[in-house]
Amino acid sequence: MGLAAALAAGAAGCRVGAQLGRLGRRATAVGPYLRESAIVAGLYGLWQLAASASVAGGRGAFARSRWIVRVERGWLPSERDLQQLLLHSTLLARTANWYYAALHFTALGALLLWLFARHRHRYPRVRNVLVLLTASSLLIQLVPVAPPRLLPGLGYVDVAERYGDSVYSISAVTVDQLSAMPSVHVGWAALVGWAVITTSSSRYRWWVLAHPALTVFVVVATGNHFWLDGIVAGGLLAISIGAVRALEQLFAPRVDHGDAGGRRGGHLGKGGGDLGERDPVGDELVGPQRA
């Protein structure tokens, strides 16, 4: 139902956006928001579809989780120790469950809306990084890996299920519950932090780093992810940012600053005295610069 609704919303948004584009000035201003919302809804639908697939069903998911436990041993603290902080406080445990369930999409949606409304020149890059990060995460998630909460024999606790806050079906383990590696929660939260810090010039922008930090704590302490799941997600974000920047440079239109006679750099004048002046064409390409 969620997949069908997301895809239907995407298709309807595209149709409405196209129709508004032919109407008056006020309606035209709404059109871009609807079109981008449709794109995001469609991507979310595809994400749900991919999350329900696996190249091996559930085979090997628990063996891979036990391998992660062995790899982390000795250089990372145990997720079980972090869980004890929640299990001693019902209020803290339920708050962590709520944060896991509610802030994942809310924070990302607020970021995209803020960028599109206030920093339109930065929106395409962040959206493209989001697409690449999510797509690369889904490719890895095609190989199933069980989350810690499904390994009670190793001492892990499903904190959300214990307090009745689980967003997953507890009657049976489904394929999408075996998509713990990497953590999309951590990847998206880190993307929010990167986007705000590199876009905003406010001195308070660094407070946004509390969101990825809290997300890492929550996904580990609730038993939904291993430390390694978040580390891999952070690496994929760094790769996605680098790849998008490289593609932007590769496909950016090249501007010839030669004079009418075709001599390269002929417009610089004597001694190249205008090297420090604004280039209106270049500014058009890269957008306004921010401190």
Are residues 214 and 131 both part of a single domain?
yes
Alpha-carbon dihedral 79, 185, 190, 97, rounded to 10 degrees: -60
Alpha helix segments (H runs only) across the chain = 2-20, 25-51, 61-72, 79-87, 90-118, 123-141, 159-162, 184-199, 210-221, 227-251, 280-286
Are residues 39 and 138 both part of a single domain?
no
Are residues 89 and 189 both part of a single domain?
yes
> Could you give the C-alpha distances from 248 to 197, 251, 285, in angstroms and in order?
20, 5, 11
Are residues 142 and 178 both part of a single domain?
yes
Secondary structure of residue 179 in the 3-state scheme: strand
> Lowest mean pLDDT: which of 55-64, 73-82, 112-121?
55-64
What is the reported pLDDT for 230?
97
147 Cβ contact partners less than 8 Å away, ≥ 6 residues apart: 65, 177, 178, 180, 223, 224, 225, 226
Are residues 67 and 184 both part of a single domain?
yes
Q: How far apart are CA 184 and CA 103, in angstroms?
A: 12
- For tokens 């919303």, the residue is 9
Q: What is the mean pLDDT of residues 80-84?
A: 91
pLDDT per position as a tens digit, 133-188: 999 998 898 888 999 999 999 999 999 999 888 877 554 556 568 888 999 999 99
Q: How far apart are CA 73 and CA 188, in angstroms?
A: 26
Are residues 7 and 129 both part of a single domain?
no
272 part of a folded domain? no
* Interior angle at CA 9, CA 30 and CA 28, nearest 5: 15
What is the reported pLDDT for 253?
74
290: Cα within 13 Å, side-chain hemisphere: 13
pLDDT per position as a tens digit, 246-274: 999 988 776 555 544 444 444 444 444 33
104 part of a folded domain? yes
61 part of a folded domain? yes
Are residues 27 and 109 both part of a single domain?
no
Q: Indicate if the pLDDT at residue 48 is higher than 60.
A: yes
219 part of a folded domain? yes
289 part of a folded domain? no
Which of 221, 67, 244 is CA-nearest to residue 230? 221
Domain count, the chain: 2
Q: How far apart are CA 131 and CA 32, in angstroms?
A: 18
Are residues 88 and 5 both part of a single domain?
no
Secondary structure of residue 42 in the 3-state scheme: helix
262 part of a folded domain? no
Are residues 26 and 144 both part of a single domain?
no
Are residues 116 and 177 both part of a single domain?
yes
256 part of a folded domain? no
**Average pLDDT of the chain to the nearest whole number:** 78
The DSSP string of 132-159 is HHHHHHHHHHTS-B--GGG-GGGT---H
Are residues 6 and 119 both part of a single domain?
no
Provide the domain limits for residue 23. Answer: 1-51
Q: Indicate if the pLDDT at residue 236 is higher than 90.
A: yes
Q: What is the mean pLDDT of residues 118-122?
A: 92
pTM of the predicted model over 0.85: no
pLDDT per position as a tens digit, 197-214: 999 999 999 999 999 999
Are residues 96 and 212 both part of a single domain?
yes
What is the reported pLDDT for 274?
39
263 part of a folded domain? no
Alpha helix segments (H runs only) across 222-267 = 227-251
